[in-house]
Chain A
Amino acid sequence: MLSLNAFLLVSGLLFAIGFFGVLLRRNTLVIFMSLELMLNAAILALVAFSRFNGIMDGNLFVFFIITVAAAEIAVGLAIIVALFRKRQTVMVEQLNSLRH
């Protein structure tokens, strides 16, 4: 039987990977995946807490998080595709026209 700490460790690692992925990666699509990784880390921790604390709320919260993440993916992907059509690139360093 795995302990709560094992789940939290994995969740923390996932969150850290996602967070640093957002900060350090240069490809928008990879950044986007990292963002989703952060949400999934939160979901994993939520389910683990819910199971070990014996409170159902967390499991229900997961439904809402998944829905929100789906909406975010849909909108985000649409923006990325539109931007790619316009600029022919998805690299962050080339998206710098808003500077004065």
Chain B
Amino acid sequence: MNAERFKLLADAYGANLDRWPANERAAAVAFMGEDPDAPVWLADAESLDRLLGAAPSPAPSAVLREEIIASAPRAKAGWMRRGAWMSGAGLAAACVLGVVVGANLSGLYLEEATTDVSTDVSTVFDGTAYFDALEISG
């Protein structure tokens, strides 16, 4: 480190040595103990740093922050994200089972009951499609 380099660094980065190139800070500190002009150059740089600190910087409003947060894409709900079609199929199977058991049970109590299971199954799969649609829109 020499006077020319020290002055250039103070001119460029200001008085805060933390902003100086990391590999030159130790040499700069050592130089300050050697050259009586070094603190003067730093004081000059510091006065400009203080002025720069006076420049306004309006904080972003809470409204803007919330608008930006609301604009972010959202994750799908966990049960939909993890193999939604499997969940739909499981639901459909449970419904089919319910229909079959229900039909058999009703047969025990109502002799004239002749449930068309295939019709009910198609209705159940329509329901599965509805859940898929939910996933897409979510």
Whether A and B are associated in the same complex: the answer reads no
> Which A residues fall within an 8 A CB radius of B?
none
> Which B residues fall within an 8 A CB radius of A?
none
